[in-house]
C-alpha cells in the first residue's frame, strides 16, 4: 500500500472520530423532539436552535470534508468502510452521557461489528483506485431507485412504532448517507481540474441537495430512539452500500476472490452477529424519547 492510500486511511479514521462525535451530539438532541415532527422541516428548525446540535453539525461537516478528501486520495472501497469505526466512539460517548455504561457483552458486539467490516474491506481485492467516471445512466438509475426506496421506507416508518420504526428510519438514513458518499466520490473527480470546475459542476449541487435529505432522514432516525439499533444499522449499511455503489458506478474493485473470499464471509458474519446482539440487548435498546 503506497503513501497516498495510507494518507487516505488516516483521513478516514479522523473522519470517523468527527462523525462519531456528531452522531452522539445530534442524537442527544433529536430524541427529545416530539415524534409528530418526524421527516418534517420543523424537526430541523427545532434542532438548529440548540447549541449542542449545532456543534454536532460542525463535527458532521468536518467529518464529511475529511471523508471527501480521503475518497479523493483513495476510493470509496478503500476508505468508506473505515467510517464504521465511528460506531465505537459514538456508543462510548452515549454510554458516558446517559450514565449507562456498556457491559462486556455489548462492547464485544460493537467490536464484532467494527472488526467484521474492517476484515471485509481488507479482503475485497487489492485494486482500490477509481478506474472510471460514472455514466449519466448510472447516476439517473441511482437517483430514481434511491428516491423510491427512501420514500417507501419513510412512508412505512411513519406509520410504525417502536423498534420497527427505528429500524426503517435507520435503513433509510444509511441509504441516504451512502448516496451522498457516491455523489461526493463523483465530485472528487473534479478536484484535479481546479476550483472553477468544482463549483460549476452538477455534482456540487447534487451533494448539497442530497445532504439536506441525508440530514432529515438521519435526524429522524435519531429521534426514533433505540440508539443500539439505529446507530449500528446506519453505520454498517452506509459503507456496505458505498462499496456497492463504488463498484457499480466507478468500476472500483469491491469483491473478494480466491483465498480472500472466506475471510470476507467471516467479516460479514461477524458484523451480522454483532448487529443482532446489539439489537436484542434489552437494557440499552430502548426508546430514549419517552
Q: pLDDT digit of tens for each residue in the chain (290 aa)? A: 567 778 888 898 899 899 999 989 998 899 888 888 888 888 999 999 999 999 999 998 899 889 888 877 877 667 766 777 787 788 788 878 877 777 777 778 878 877 887 777 667 644 444 445 667 788 888 889 999 999 999 999 999 988 889 899 999 998 998 888 888 877 777 777 777 777 778 888 888 899 899 999 999 998 988 887 888 888 777 767 877 777 677 665 555 555 566 777 787 788 778 777 766 655 545 454 44
Looking at residue 240, what is its pLDDT?
A: 74
User: What DSSP element (H or E) covers 74?
Assistant: none
Angle ∠(35,213,241) on CA atoms, nearest 5: 105
Which positions ≥6 away from 68 have C-beta within 8 Å?
184, 187, 188
CA distance 23 to 64: 13
User: What DSSP element (H or E) covers 151?
Assistant: helix 136-158
CA distance 17 to 66: 11
Nearest partner of 77 among 253, 262, 266, judged by Cα: 253
Whole-structure pTM value:
0.76
**90 close to 18: Cβ distance less than 8 angstroms:** no
CA distance 28 to 24: 6
Residue 151 CB-half CA count within 13 A:
6
C-alpha cell at 199: 463549483
User: What DSSP element (H or E) covers 226?
Assistant: none
Give SS3 for 287: coil
C-alpha cell at 139: 447516476
**102 close to 111: Cβ distance less than 8 angstroms:** no
Looking at residue 127, what is its pLDDT?
A: 46
Which positions ≥6 away from 187 have C-beta within 8 Å?
68, 198, 201, 203, 204, 207
Amino acid at each position: 500500500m503506497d503513501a497516498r492510500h495510507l494518507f487516505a486511511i488516516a483521513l478516514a479514521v479522523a473522519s470517523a472520530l468527527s462523525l462519531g462525535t456528531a452522531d452522539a451530539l445530534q442524537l442527544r438532541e433529536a430524541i427529545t423532539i416530539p415524534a409528530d415532527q418526524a421527516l418534517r422541516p420543523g424537526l430541523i428548525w427545532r434542532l438548529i436552535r440548540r447549541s449542542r446540535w449545532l456543534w454536532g453539525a460542525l463535527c458532521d461537516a468536518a467529518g464529511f470534508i475529511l471523508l471527501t478528501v480521503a475518497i479523493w486520495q483513495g476510493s470509496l472501497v478503500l476508505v468508506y468502510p473505515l467510517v464504521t469505526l465511528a460506531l465505537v466512539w459514538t456508543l462510548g460517548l452515549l454510554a458516558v452521557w446517559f450514565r449507562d455504561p456498556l457491559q462486556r457483552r455489548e462492547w464485544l458486539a460493537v467490536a464484532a461489528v467494527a472488526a467484521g467490516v474492517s476484515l471485509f474491506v481488507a479482503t475485497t481485492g487489492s485494486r482500490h483506485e477509481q478506474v472510471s467516471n460514472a455514466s449519466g445512466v448510472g447516476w439517473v438509475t441511482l437517483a430514481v431507485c434511491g428516491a423510491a426506496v427512501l420514500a417507501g421506507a419513510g412512508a412505512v416508518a411513519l406509520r410504525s412504532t417502536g423498534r420497527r420504526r427505528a429500524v426503517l428510519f435507520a435503513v433509510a438514513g444509511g441509504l441516504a448517507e451512502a448516496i451522498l458518499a457516491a455523489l461526493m466520490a463523483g465530485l472528487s473527480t473534479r478536484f484535479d481540474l481546479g476550483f472553477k470546475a468544482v463549483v460549476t459542476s452538477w455534482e456540487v449541487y447534487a451533494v448539497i441537495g442530497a445532504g439536506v435529505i441525508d440530514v432529515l432522514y438521519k435526524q429522524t432516525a435519531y429521534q426514533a430512539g433505540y440508539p443500539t439499533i439505529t446507530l449500528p444499522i446506519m453505520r454498517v449499511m452506509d459503507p456496505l452500500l458505498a462499496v456497492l455503489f463504488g463498484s457499480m458506478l466507478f468500476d472500483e474493485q469491491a469483491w473478494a476472490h480466491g483465498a480472500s473470499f472466506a475471510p470476507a464471509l467471516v467479516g460479514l458474519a461477524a458484523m451480522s452477529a454483532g448487529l443482532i446482539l446489539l439489537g436484542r440487548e434489552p437494557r440499552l435498546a430502548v426508546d430514549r424519547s419517552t
